[in-house]
């Protein structure tokens, strides 16, 4: 693996860094940020800034207005975008839209791409991915899927309830996972104003960076034409892996940028603040925490780059992305936690961005598969195959 960056990618990295620091960071105090994410008007303004710089939706193919970044390219650019909690939103590379775009490019028909993917990449609409369900439905175990899709002529009728549906409130369309008579699961595309789709409520949560929050969505006799099936019936779980492996990794990329930001804030504070006659950083208890931060950031970046490189070689990368998700989510959380500690009283207030970053990254150890589920999956593979290096 070659760790050097091409001149083009180096230039894009520097361009993204300058855009985030000069145009997005100054907007972080904008009041159009609610408990359930930035308002749509604010999002559109941010998107316009990125579009003006040629940085809107860079991961999609040029056919749909992007730069067609490789996975390694995304690792570089997404980390820079993540330096600001508003950066991924501004560049239209935040979850769940980024993962949905990847899935649509890989699986959707030409007509579906024109209807849903093109306006999504332009920032004209948002999307949501409806998979997780209240008990006893699917959570970490997708095989427990309860939402049903019954064929009725040229349509399917969908009934069920989803929750933790990020971005549901205000989304233009949904990708819905349901089980049907064919067995397995099927993905459906549906506009959110389709009769029978109802966002019951938006759930309060630690994080507040996702537009539309995390919704509870009810499907009551929702009629979806068979032409709006995403891919083929019964292959929903297979397509979910097409989405999830890269999406786990792009989460790592974005949150690594936020971890870097928290580390910079804590480091500058420790270099300037004095206690007991010395700068904080000169006390081993503080200095060692900052040193551990740098090691966690470095190891996370190398893990991300390696997995991205494998995906660019055409590998499925399921095991590697699973490992990366655990390694990075836990390392990034440790970085944020140490930064809170270094800042002392300021770390638990809104005096700096660190408290907000700490809240935002905590959920990363749960969504896209809790650490425990990924460890269990890896252990199952070891039980079947033994150690494999």
Residue 2 has pLDDT above 90, yes or no: no
222: tokens are 């929702």
- State the sign of the Cα–Cα–Cα–Cα dihedral 69, 74, 75, 79: positive
Q: How far apart are CA 321 and CA 244, in angstroms?
A: 9
> Which of residues 233, 260, 282 is at a domain's end?
233
pLDDT in tens, 369-381: 999 999 999 999 9
Chain segment 24-52, per-residue pLDDT in tens: 999 999 999 999 999 999 999 999 999 99
Using CA atoms, how far residue 47 sits from 86, 109, 306, 354, in Å, is 10, 26, 30, 25
Cα 382 to Cα 321, 340, 388, distances in angstroms:
16, 37, 8
Helix (H, G, I), strand (E, B) or coil at 133: coil
Helices (H), ranges, 7-116: 7-19, 40-52, 71-82, 87-90, 97-107, 110-112
Range of the domain at 197: 127-233
Residue 185 has pLDDT above 80, yes or no: yes
For the domain that residue 23 is a member of, what is the CATH number?
A: 1.10.540.10
Distance CA 306, CA 336 (A): 23
CA distance 255 to 328: 9
* pLDDT tens-digit series, residues 110-169: 999 999 999 999 999 999 999 999 999 999 888 899 999 999 999 999 999 999 999 999
Q: Which two tokens stand for residue 15?
A: 């361009």
Residues 197 and 267 in one domain: no
One domain for residues 274 and 371: yes
Residues contacting 212, CB < 8 A, separation 6+:
36, 37, 126, 128, 166, 167, 168, 169, 170, 171, 202
pLDDT for 184 equals 87
255-275 pLDDT tens trace: 999 999 999 999 999 999 999
DSSP state of 144: G
Number of domains in the chain: 3
Q: Does 343 fall in a domain? A: yes
Domain assignment present for 120: no
Mean pLDDT of 234-241: 92
Within a domain: residue 355?
A: yes
Q: How far apart are CA 247 and CA 239, in angstroms?
A: 12
Beta carbons of 84 and 261 less than 8 angstroms apart: yes
Q: How would you class 45 by CB atoms within 10 Å of its CB: exposed for 0-12, middle for 13-18, buried for 19 or more?
A: middle
pTM: 0.96
Mind listing the pLDDT tens digit for each residue in 277-315? 999 999 999 999 999 999 999 999 999 999 999 999 999
**Are residues 216 and 340 located together in one domain of the fold?**
no
145 and 76 in a common domain: no
pLDDT (tens digit per residue) in 47-91: 999 999 999 999 999 999 999 999 999 999 999 999 999 999 999
Task: Identify whether 29 is preceded by a cis peptide bond (ω within 30 of 0).
Answer: no
pLDDT of residue 389: 65
298 and 332 in a single domain? The answer is yes
Pairing of strands 148-152, 186-191: unpaired
The answer to whether residues 250 and 158 belong to one domain is no
- The closest of 244, 197, 230, 189 to 216, measured between CA atoms, is 197
pLDDT at 182 over 80: no
Token pair recorded at residue 329 = 């989510």
HSE-up (13 A, CA, CB side) for residue 368? 28
Domain identity same for 377 and 269: yes
187-203 per-position pLDDT tens digit:
999 999 999 999 999 99
């Amino acid at each position: 693996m070659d760790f050097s960056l091409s001149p083009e990618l180096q230039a894009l990295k520097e361009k993204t860094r300058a855009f985030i620091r000069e145009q997005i960071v100054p907007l972080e105090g904008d009041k159009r940020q609610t408990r359930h994410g930035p308002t749509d008007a604010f999002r559109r303004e941010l998107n316009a800034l990125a579009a003006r710089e040629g940085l809107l939706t860079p991961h999609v193919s040029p056919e749909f207005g992007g730069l067609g970044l490789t996975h390694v390219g995304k690792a570089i650019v997404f980390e820079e975008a993540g330096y600001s909690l508003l950066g991924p939103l501004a560049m239209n590379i935040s979850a769940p839209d980024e993962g949905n775009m990847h899935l649509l490019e890989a699986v959707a028909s030409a007509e579906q791409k024109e209807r849903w993917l093109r306006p999504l990449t332009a920032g004209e609409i948002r999307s949501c991915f409806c998979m997780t369900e209240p008990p006893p439905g699917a959570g970490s175990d997708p095989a427990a899927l309860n939402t049903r899709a019954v064929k009725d002529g040229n349509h399917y009728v969908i009934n069920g309830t989803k929750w933790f549906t990020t971005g549901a409130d205000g989304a233009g369309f949904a990708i819905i996972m349901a089980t049907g008579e064919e067995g397995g699961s099927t993905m459906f595309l549906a506009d959110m104003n389709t009769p029978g789709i109802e966002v019951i409520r938006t759930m309060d949560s630690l994080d507040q960076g996702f537009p539309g929050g995390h919704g509870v969505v009810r499907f009551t006799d929702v009629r979806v034409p068979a032409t709006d099936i995403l891919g083929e019936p019964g292959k929903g779980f297979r397509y979910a892996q097409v989405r999830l492996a890269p999406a786990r990794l792009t989460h790592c990329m974005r949150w690594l940028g936020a971890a870097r930001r928290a580390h910079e804030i804590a480091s500058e504070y420790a270099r300037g603040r004095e206690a007991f006659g010395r700068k904080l950083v000169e006390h081993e208890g503080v200095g060692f925490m900052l040193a551990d931060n740098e090691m966690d950031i470095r190891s996370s970046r190398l893990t991300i780059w390696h997995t991205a490189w494998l995906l660019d070689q055409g590998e499925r990368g399921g095991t590697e992305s699973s490992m990366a998700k655990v390694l990075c989510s836990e390392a990034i959380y440790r970085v944020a936690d140490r930064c809170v500690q270094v800042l002392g009283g300021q770390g638990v207030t809104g005096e700096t961005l660190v408290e907000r970053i700490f809240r935002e990254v905590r959920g990363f150890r749960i969504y896209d598969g809790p650490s425990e589920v990924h460890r269990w999956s890896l252990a199952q593979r070891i039980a079947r195959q033994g150690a494999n290096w």
